Amino acid sequence: LQELLNLYPEWLENNTEHPKYVVYKKQCQIVQDICDIFNGTDFQTEGGKVYSLLNDMQETGPPPDDIVNKMSQEIPDAMKGGGGVPGGGGVPGMPGAGEQCCIQ
């Protein structure tokens, strides 16, 4: 989340005319609020607030594509694939790319 938070200010500054600017600004604030909780001393007692904020974030939709793409480029290769869930790093016991989950 901290990495996500670090990417928002520059994106917001460079995309003030984007049609979803207000939504993305709200996302930035939500991520900031969550990071503030985790960086605080009482984070263990704030689970309900974090849950609520995560729900708020989900309601706003995904972050800007530029941010998502930048974050995915920074994921170490060892975590990107080679079986397992797509992009999941080859988690043992998980189906490989293109395979169905046994629960489906």
**Residues 25, 12: contact at Cβ < 8 Å?**
yes
* 35-52 pLDDT per residue, tens: 999 998 887 888 899 999
* 75-85 pLDDT per residue, tens: 665 555 544 44
What is the pTM assigned to this prediction?
0.69
What is the DSSP code (8-state) at residue 63? Answer: P
Picking from 48, 62, 56, 64, the residue whose alpha carbon sits closest to that of residue 14 is 64
Decide if pLDDT at 73 tops 90: no
* Confidence (pLDDT) at 93: 52
Instruction: Report, in angstroms and rounded to the nearest whole number, the Rg of the chain calculated over CA atoms.
Output: 17
